[in-house]
Structure 1
């Protein structure tokens, strides 16, 4: 604890990209800030930054240390807030991650609703279709449609998640629809890709039947952004595999239709993920409880929508 100020200086320097700016924020002169950073590196016997005449760049060891320092400082700040305001106080910033399409179309408005209930809460919303690293990205929660085999994270199921093939009415009017997965090779398809590869293996079941269709990469439209995939489908560019959570408003407005609804795909339930060892601040607990209730309500509405459209 005797070098807590030095650690805060290190974190601010990494965030701001410069020692002088970090020193100004903490009320330190450039000389004092430089001396404290040198002192911290000496105590750790590790170089945290590569120094050039123009900038500071984190070393590999510095990046590792930064991730843990951010978590430690956040825990200390949460503990202080709990002592000052009481353990039931819902206030402060929540850092939350979600996939791009769901985050823009659903989660964003839910966070606005939560903010109206708790006006002292602020949000940092990170949208990406790749799996976020909760520790390195300094996240309190991540809303995911898949769960990695990582025992350091708690995965709390929020709702079922059915994925479907979808296309626009104009695309269907022009090209028709496949009767079964084996006919998909006659249609333009839209697929997602990421650092883990292309998600072009589509698996289906109907009763006891099971079929797999691999979308030819050379013939497909590809994107690493789920929102773009949905927009292409709405614009009539092809058939896409999407979560019902992403396209429910498009189904309701008849901008998209479900293709082959009798063929089911494997479900990847929606989960809230958070660090197992991290203290859960009252604001994060309140948001998690809010999301559990919100997903339950929306899932009921989604089932009613599918029934009204004749998809179930």
Structure 2
């Protein structure tokens, strides 16, 4: 038996299900005229009338009512078949979304280890500012927290109902600078020595700065007086301010997770271990439905292992130094 064109059957099924040409057109992402043309072509092919055109509505003929359930079931089966085929195509592919700074400064430098352990997995990475909760709220986004990714690293409060959630790191800031500043005419030995050095700032224009402490808060916590907390240059992102600190321009309240390589190489040092918390943390999330998928499980276990063993995962313990009682 020769079958009619699939597009004509699809147009009829959608129109019959909705009893509306306009709604069918919206579902199929075509114009109402295109739907009407496909239905007319199908009626000519079959030699029967499928709809009774009544004022302001459509009514199915007995022939249309008879074939609609089987067509609907057939299209549902085709959709399932395509989805199953795609599962084979995507079996070794895992998409991970994360905030840009964490992705570039922490995750990417460690990926060679993941590739060595799991060469069979095609890992795809996406840097998205909307992985930051406060920015997502500001832009009014309402799509899935994963945004089509298999796993996502979110920067927020950890309240993600309906998702499997793992806390990776708390977020905190502490002074960081070039080792050059520990020497010279005014070596940086105590917090009071900050009066001789530029303080580097970053503005809260970027949502990654949300809840961050500033120099006024840090100096107060350290018990330091007589240091102007507002002097020094300001950058519009924490990574720029940390780069300036690495170049010896001053001292920044940096985020050590974003500078683990520079700290390990001695390009940045932490002169004082007093840290202050930032009002958000990093969380790994994914759907319950994919929890046992091989690629998702492999990446989840791998990143949780690295997070547990991250030297800067927790704030350092600060001893008392001079007049500053550094209690975390």
Please, what TM-score do these two structures have when normalized by structure 1?
0.56
Tell me how far 1:266 sits from its aligned partner: 1.8
The answer as to 2:232 corresponding to 1:222 is no
Contact 2:152 2:286 in 1 (8 A): yes
> 1:244 is matched with which residue?
256
Q: Could you say which structure has the higher strand fraction?
A: 1
Q: Distance in 2 between matches of 1:131 and 1:181?
A: 38
Contact kept in structure 1, 2:213 and 2:277, CA below 8 Å: no
What secondary structure, in the 3-state scheme, does the structure 2 residue paired with 1:142 have?
strand
Of 104-113 and 42-51, more deviation after overlay is shown by: 42-51
Residues 141, 134 of structure 1: CA spacing in aligned structure 2 closer, same or farther, 3 A cutoff?
A: farther
Which residue number corresponds to residue 275 of structure 2? 264
Cα deviation per residue 1:263-295 (whole Å; 9 max; x = unaligned)?
A: 2212655421234x5433321112101111222
Q: Which runs of 5+ in 1 are unaligned?
A: 1-31, 52-72
Q: TM-score, normalised to structure 2's length?
A: 0.54
Root-mean-square deviation (CA), in Å?
5.2
Listed as ranges, the matches of 1:86-105 within 5 Å are: 91-105=91-105
Deviation for aligned residue 1:148: 5.0
2:179 pairs with 1:169: yes
Give the direction of change, closer, same or farther, for the CA distance of 1:306–1:96 in structure 2 (3 Å limit).
farther
The equivalent of 1:126 in structure 2 is: 126
Aligned to 1:187: 198
Aligned residues: 243
Secondary structure at the aligned position of 1:260 is classed as coil
Aligned equivalent of 1:282, options 294, 298, 302: 294
- Cα distance, 1:197 vs structure 2: 8.4
Q: Is the 8 A contact 1:153 1:274 kept in 2?
A: yes
- Structure 1 distance, partners of 2:154, 2:83, is 27
Gap change, CA 1:221 and 1:49, over 3 Å in 2: farther
Where does the alignment leave 5 or more consecutive residues of structure 2 unmatched?
A: 1-6, 16-20, 32-78, 133-142, 319-325
1:13-32 residue pairs with structure 2 within 5 A?
none
